[in-house]
Structure 1
Amino acid sequence: MTARRWKERLKAEWLLLAFTLLTLVLGWVDPQPAASWQRWLQAPTLAGLAGLMIAIQGIRDSALVQHAAAALAARTHSLRTLGLLLVASAALLSMILTNDVSLFVLVPLTVAIGGLSNLPVLRMVVLEALAVNAGSTLSPIGNPQNLLLWQHGQLPFLSFAWALLPAAAVMFVLVAMLAWAWIPRERVTLAPDTLDHQPVAAGLAILSVAMLVAMVMSMEYGHAAYGAGLLLLVFALGSPRSLARVDWLLLLTFVAIFLGLGHLAELPQVQAGLDRLDLGSPLRLYLAGILASQVISNVPATVLLLERAHDPIALAVAVNVGGFGVAIGSLANLIALRLARQPHGLRELHRVSIPFLLVCAPLVYLAWRWLG
């Protein structure tokens, strides 16, 4: 590999390099036992991501996504209709399959549609990232922070969802308004010369879809490691080429993020600062959850504030709103950008998501306090 290609590769993996450096520096200035590193690693989450990545790569390699994209684009005449359909699907799927799984399903489909039509891919991926953050807010199983707070608060499933409904409704309305204004009103234009005429590899498609379902079920019942191990074995035997094409650097990036942010959140200075905060006020807790999410992502922020927050619903509202704003606010944002691999993706996300947070945060707070 030439020096230029190495430079381009390092530039593309800046997030991995930055969090690896953070992890190494924190490990040097604040040594911790192995048990702490194991806790920060979040092995079940990593196993779930690995399994999803393997299954989706198999679906991509089978050409099933490309054919589904062609069928959907051919049957939809308006870009706005097509875009709104994808955004609504992202929000609805995130309530059932979690925000990360929804993106693993929809972003490859969106990229494939963009490859054979005039659909603005990066614009759609940014909207889908916002949509899964909004949609998953409503469901106790929609994202990791909700699952943690639902179990911690010991609330009935429907009671938790009802309490989050005002916040989720405001978020989704704002996403829908943005999508309506931002998606072009043009007709869908297909480029026949870009259509992939490769036939669907039926065996690989069936295997991959079945493994995707198995992985989601294993995550749902707390057996993500076993599910990922099964997929590794099945694909090593049945489709080693797909296994080799998985974006393993994305998984390493999340390893570095989990270790670096987990350690940062448990620094004595950070803990001492939190001890001085009075989070009994709903507004103070709301602002703390949003700001912490912007710095260390919303799942670590939830863990950090959990024992200091007297109201799990208030914290849930805060950290879900905190998923907007900077990309690190929600790991779903990073997954969406990495799956899409579009030029200037991070800049485009921030151009939209930061103003979205500034508009969304006060409106959600007012709706939650008034209707909650």
Structure 2
Amino acid sequence: MTWLPESLRALRRDMLFITLLVAAIVFAVVMPSRLPDWPGLVDWPTIAALTGLLILTRAVDSSGALEVAGRWLIDRMSTRRVAALGLVAATAVLSMLLTNDVALFVMVPLALTMCRIARMPATRLVVFQALAVNAGSMLTPIGNPQNLFLWQQWNNGFGGFVWAMLPLAGIALILLLALTALAFPAEPLEVHGRGDESVDRTMLLVAALLYVPFIVLADLRYVGWALLGVMVVFVAFRRRVVASIDWGLLLTFVLMFIDLRLLAGLSAVKSFVAGLGLDHATHLYVTGALASQIVSNVPAAILLAEYSQDWRTLAYGVNVGGFGFVLGSLANLIALRLLGEKKAWATFHLWSTPFFVAVALLGWLLL
């Protein structure tokens, strides 16, 4: 097993993956006649787009450029409030461009380093970074997996998606920055010490040159060719980047498509969902937000997409559902895992729950 990528070996401890795998085994035993249909249940354009983005963002992360940029930002902060606002805003912006999980992997360690030096409340800052990636990533179709799925599923255009999500994302970000200013005092901040500031400029340049063409080709429905090009370049140029991406995440998404679409096809589930009145925008919005609290927003998006064609309302619901309970978004779990404090769960819900209620009400008014 040592030859497997670390992300695949880690699946043995991933409860979400294990749950999905057990569900798939149950479906295989109960409905063996559906096994030949399984490949057709997977939205392969979404998997291809996610794979390409993981490779490109991993290359940018591995180049060291983001850490240098982050330290440059920290060096220019004067107070804890300014530092928190700067880190929260930077985390939100990165999540729009490099996906929410990559933004956390870059910014949370940076924030923890600063907190150790300046004695800032690390738990609170990381909680706000989790809120930031959920708020920022909702703007773009590449910001998070549920948006990536909805973008590929409905072919609604990159610009069209951003325009539709702009009101909700704008309100969420303004509200978050205002809350950040209230949560952190305007006390002086003194930062000492520096880390490794070397940058692999070649890898950064290659990733940057491939990034926009990949997005354009994905938007034009040529995502398979776009992924092939990215794979060829990095296998020849930096094979370790391809090997180090989160292959376990991709496998988890494949199982999500299979399990949830099989589940959506059950007569009992169809009857239950039919009674929810998802043809009404308000019902779809509320169902998306609340279902995300239970099963996370990515599975909620995949499941509800089987019952409605109103992608904008569905996108509003599942993106708002990323706030609130920690299971609302996988990004929440990633942030708390990077923090490594058990007591952080209580702090997270102290801030995230009222934020969920506020953004949910504002989103409903927008609809």
Deviation string, structure 1 residues 144-201 (Cα, Å, up to 9, x no partner): 466379767x9x949x947x66544443333223322344645444342x5115x322
- 1:178 counterpart residue number: 179
User: Residues 82-121 of structure 1: matches in 2 within 5 Å?
Assistant: 82-91=83-92, 97=97, 101-103=98-100, 106-111=103-108, 113-114=110-111, 116-118=113-115
Counterpart amino acid of residue 25 in structure 2: L
- The structure-2 alpha-carbon separation of the partners of 1:261 and 1:341, relative to structure 1 and needing over 3 Å to count, comes to farther
Q: Give, in whole Å, the separation in 2 of the partners of 1:295 and 1:309.
A: 20
- 1:323 counterpart residue number: 322
- 1:256 counterpart residue number: 255
1:352 CA displacement? 4.1
User: Residues 185-334 of structure 1: matches in 2 within 5 Å?
Assistant: 185-192=186-193, 195-197=195-197, 199-279=198-278, 281-298=280-297, 300-302=299-301, 304-305=303-304, 313-330=312-329, 333=332
- 1:147 matched to 2:151: yes
1:21 CA displacement? 1.8
2:81·2:185 contact (CA, 8 Å) conserved in 1? yes
Once superposed, what is the RMSD of the aligned Cα atoms?
4.0
1:23 CA displacement? 2.2
SS at match of 2:69: helix
2:99·2:137 contact (CA, 8 Å) conserved in 1? no
- 2:5 counterpart residue number: none
Deviation string, structure 1 residues 224-251 (Cα, Å, up to 9, x no partner): 3322222222222111233333332233
- Structure 2: gaps spanning 5 or more residues: 3-8
- Structure 1: gaps spanning 5 or more residues: 3-7
Counterpart amino acid of residue 74 in structure 1: D
1:140·1:150 contact (CA, 8 Å) conserved in 2? no
Counterpart amino acid of residue 25 in structure 1: V
2:12·2:18 contact (CA, 8 Å) conserved in 1? no
- The structure-2 alpha-carbon separation of the partners of 1:112 and 1:189, relative to structure 1 and needing over 3 Å to count, comes to farther
Q: Give, in whole Å, the separation in 2 of the partners of 1:250 and 1:307.
A: 22
1:270 CA displacement? 1.0
Counterpart amino acid of residue 42 in structure 2: L
- 2:38 counterpart residue number: 37
1:271 CA displacement? 1.0
SS at match of 1:254: helix
Q: Give, in whole Å, the separation in 1 of the partners of 2:49 and 2:234.
A: 16
Counterpart amino acid of residue 259 in structure 1: I
1:321 CA displacement? 2.0
Deviation string, structure 1 residues 315-350 (Cα, Å, up to 9, x no partner): 44333322323455445556x549x74425893655
TM-score, normalised on structure 2? 0.75
Deviation string, structure 1 residues 255-286 (Cα, Å, up to 9, x no partner): 33333333333332211212233345554333
Q: Indicate the percent of aligned positions where both proteins have the same amino acid.
A: 33
1:289·1:305 contact (CA, 8 Å) conserved in 2? yes
Q: Give, in whole Å, the separation in 1 of the partners of 2:136 and 2:361.
A: 18
Deviation string, structure 1 residues 113-136 (Cα, Å, up to 9, x no partner): 336422766655543443344345
Deviation string, structure 1 residues 211-231 (Cα, Å, up to 9, x no partner): 333433333333333222222
Counterpart amino acid of residue 16 in structure 1: F
Comparing 125-134 with 64-73, greater Cα deviation is found at 125-134
Q: Give, in whole Å, the separation in 2 of the partners of 1:81 and 1:17.
A: 42
- 1:18 counterpart residue number: 19
SS at match of 2:75: helix
Counterpart amino acid of residue 241 in structure 2: S
- 1:5 counterpart residue number: none
Q: Give, in whole Å, the separation in 1 of the partners of 2:313 and 2:66.
A: 39
Q: Give, in whole Å, the separation in 2 of the partners of 1:179 and 1:73.
A: 17
- The structure-2 alpha-carbon separation of the partners of 1:274 and 1:103, relative to structure 1 and needing over 3 Å to count, comes to closer
Q: Give, in whole Å, the separation in 1 of the partners of 2:199 and 2:252.
A: 32
1:261·1:300 contact (CA, 8 Å) conserved in 2? yes
Q: Give, in whole Å, the separation in 1 of the partners of 2:316 and 2:57.
A: 31
The number of residue pairs the alignment matches comes to 351
2:103·2:133 contact (CA, 8 Å) conserved in 1? no
Counterpart amino acid of residue 175 in structure 1: L
Q: Give, in whole Å, the separation in 2 of the partners of 1:27 and 1:220.
A: 34
Q: Give, in whole Å, the separation in 1 of the partners of 2:134 and 2:299.
A: 16
1:24 CA displacement? 1.9
1:94·1:102 contact (CA, 8 Å) conserved in 2? yes
Q: Give, in whole Å, the separation in 2 of the partners of 1:16 and 1:362.
A: 32
